[in-house]
Amino acid sequence: MDERIRAAIASETRREPFAVALGMELKELGDGFARVERLYDPARMNNMLGRAHGGAIFALIDQAFEMACNSGGDITVGMNVSVTYVASPEPGARLTAEAHRVSKTKRTSSFDIRVTAGGVLIAWCQALAFRTGKPLPFL
């Protein structure tokens, strides 16, 4: 992966308001790959049933998807996302989302994204992205 692109995306992620507000951290970035983490805080992330809100888990998925999609240096946006939730994390768990590109064409890329907590699968996702061909504005 181009180091200039890696540094620019990492820098932008540290300033991205949504990621900052939710405590999401980019831990690793490669060509078509991203690993993003955050702590599961039940006081801020639970639903009315006392378990992790699906939106809190999806936000982590979407962040990893965003980073992996744009790792090539061109603006790439989500077109379709399908998430399967399989478990709820335990309070205080470190949630990790890993996005892996599985295919890439001139205009689209598809990704496999998994969220785990301590080795336990929490959710998995299949996602499709549209590649605009325009450079990232902060490069």
- The full set of domains in the chain, from first to last, is 3-135 (3.10.129.10)
Residue-wise pLDDT for 13-65, tens only, equals 999 999 999 999 999 999 999 999 999 999 999 999 999 999 999 999 999 99
- Nearest Cα neighbor of 76 from 112, 47, 105 is 105
Q: Can you give the pTM of this predicted structure? A: 0.96
Q: Left (φ > 0), alpha (ψ -120 to 50) or beta: where does 122 sit?
A: alpha
Sign of CA dihedral 81, 130, 74, 21: negative
pLDDT per residue over 71-130, tens digit each? 999 999 999 999 999 999 999 999 999 999 999 999 999 999 999 999 999 999 999 999
Residue 32 near residue 100 (C-beta atoms within 8 A)? yes
Give dist(CA 22, CA 31) in Å, integer: 25
Neighbours of 1 (CB within 10 A): 14
